[in-house]
Structure 1
């Protein structure tokens, strides 16, 4: 199980996003009260880090030869990401510029693919995969690889991340991560954690216990604020995010329990574009083999999440 140590990066506290990976098949149903650059009283300003310098890279012929001609002509690798999930993808202090390790990964991938640049544009989670092949070339937005998702897109694995719980400092609600039955749990809409929470709740009722009140919201900044404010007992999110946002919360949040349900995450490519998927796979593998992926992740304290093999559509449960 891979874990990470949290670091502080510049963020206008959309960086407080306690996100998981979105399921593009799910519709949004939660409320949203924080803007994309949304400031939240649940986090504090952070010190800057130095992201990986992509000028250290150059085109790799074995990779660029796989890139589709149409992409070579455009010269731009367009990534769609929901930029409210630190440290993977979130907004810089200007509230407009996406930053994070997925953003840096796309820039690096574009270089080794022989393209002019890799760009990341903010998009809501459910809209990213449907827009592949038209608005976006790839989706690097902390997508957990699932069998359902592999039916919708090609997925190239690059990190493995678990889930973890966070509560308000001191755990005033007495939340027990080993027995969440009867609690109120905040999750991000359409995430793996939302699905897992429902599985846990079903088990609670099967055991004759009270169901979990699952509260999905569109923005995890909102979820965190409600946990801190006492409306929710806890939140369940990606382990990298929990560790990161505990640091950003200025002592208002804390992790409880162990990391659970570790699973690979992947870069999404349109299902009908196998050529681009193989080019992405080759590019990610090159970055892995030469230690660059670890450096990209390490700038955000997430180096332990790096995989060593970039699998295309790996077998998952």
Structure 2
């Protein structure tokens, strides 16, 4: 997404939804599973030196409990069984956890509830395409692992003649609590300052709803993180297209509690390890997101904070 304080996928009428649900009235076709036996996830063996960095309280049960918004394909979404969380972020963090000798318990949650859940101890980490920004870094520790710009999407042929720089008077769909929201608010203010109609921001809890409402024409365009936008178009069976070029370059971060500096260090080093051994690139290639790759030197804890 490029998600803001909190952020987000996709679907076409025929596939609706990354969340694994079928859109009523769309012929009952399900989105194919992204966990194909032809493209298995990279496997990761534990590194004892990295595993030793994990705090005892987290290592005790051999699992990490992760909060995630499973509506944000292809990064995190529900498989066709409606229960299993899959996606790029899922495979990346599974590989990171594997380096630490841990398994992952993926818990679907509303995006805006994840950081508070990490703060309260409900989750031991949050992995949900969180954009790193100073406000979030005041709430948690964030370990960078990917970069994503913002991308606009319209119906095929752009029937409403949407322009990224002049969407005044149009309805634009966006996921609540994402970085796309203030971007649209700034663009809307430019409209009203120029004496033009404001942009109507249609904000929805899940990216699946954002995408389906664009497919059905309720909204004139949508904005989302680049991987989500590209995947939405691919899954739309020709109903959607990308609009213009992506812009911005927002880093994604894994979220842990402010008091978990040792755990953050363990995740940082494990992330660097999967980059160094090639597993990271393998996962990004599988999901078509190579352009967002970062180097092991760019993996940092709270990189926006001096």
Structure 2 length-normalised TM: 0.88
- Taking the aligned partners of 2:167 and 2:280, their CA distance within structure 1 comes to 36
Q: 2:60 aligns with which of 70, 73, 76?
A: 73
Contact preservation (8 Å) 1:80, 1:138: yes
CA deviation digits over 1:2-56, x for unaligned, max 9? xxxxxxxxxxxxxxxxx5425349xxxxxxx9895421349863365424232xx
**1:238 is aligned to 2:220:** no
Identify unmatched segments of 5+ residues in structure 1. 1-18, 26-32
Cα distance, 1:80 vs. partner? 1.0
Q: 1:305 aligns with which of 271, 283, 292?
A: 292
SS of the residue corresponding to residue 62 of structure 1 reads: helix
- Taking the aligned partners of 1:296 and 1:307, their CA distance within structure 2 comes to 13
Cα distance, 1:261 vs. partner? 1.6
User: 1:121–1:170: structure 2 CA closer, same or farther, 3 Å change rule?
Assistant: same
Map residues 78-117 of structure 1 onto 2, 5 A cutoff. 78-115=65-102, 117=103
Map residues 160-309 of structure 1 onto 2, 5 A cutoff. 160-308=147-295, 309=298
Contact preservation (8 Å) 1:20, 1:188: no
Cα distance, 1:316 vs. partner? 7.0
- Taking the aligned partners of 1:282 and 1:225, their CA distance within structure 2 comes to 39
**1:21 is aligned to 2:11:** no
- Taking the aligned partners of 2:30 and 2:20, their CA distance within structure 1 comes to 14
Contact preservation (8 Å) 1:108, 1:118: no
SS of the residue corresponding to residue 132 of structure 1 reads: helix
More displaced stretch, 62-71 vs 234-243: 62-71
Contact preservation (8 Å) 2:20, 2:31: no
Contact preservation (8 Å) 1:51, 1:296: no
What does residue 31 of structure 2 align with?
45
**1:127 is aligned to 2:110:** no
- Taking the aligned partners of 2:214 and 2:227, their CA distance within structure 1 comes to 18
**1:315 is aligned to 2:298:** no
Contact preservation (8 Å) 1:22, 1:126: no
RMSD: 2.3
Structure 1 length-normalised TM: 0.85
Identify unmatched segments of 5+ residues in structure 2. 8-15
Cα distance, 1:67 vs. partner? 0.7
CA deviation digits over 1:70-126, x for unaligned, max 9? 1121110221110010111001011111000111122111211122x1221111101
